[in-house]
Amino acid sequence: MGEIMNFVVWIVFGGVAGWLAGQIMKGGGFGLIGNVIVGIIGSFVGGFLFSNVLGLGAVGFNFMGLIAAVVGAILLLFIVSLIRKA
């Protein structure tokens, strides 16, 4: 049950993170729906980076998890916007 709950949490965080990343990256976003989708994917990226690479324990429904999701979403939005411009 823990694995499923973590997955659901990252989906929810991803939606919020995508919206926040779109607000932070003015002009680099893809509209509300696009940012939420990129945010969901970015939240998994951020969760992986914070937990496995940096060892910061960003798993679950906590402040560090939200920060990881937002950072991952911003990073992914930035990379995707670079690719889109090329």
The pLDDT > 70 percentage for the chain reads 84
pLDDT (mean) for 22-29: 73
What confidence score (pLDDT) does residue 20 get? 83
What confidence score (pLDDT) does residue 86 get? 66
pLDDT (mean) for 38-52: 80
**What secondary structure letter does DSSP report for 27?**
T
Q: Where are the alpha helices (DSSP H) in the chain?
A: 2-24, 31-48, 63-85
Q: Write the single-letter amino acid at 65.
A: G
Model confidence pLDDT, tens digit, residues 51-72:
777 766 655 567 777 788 788 8
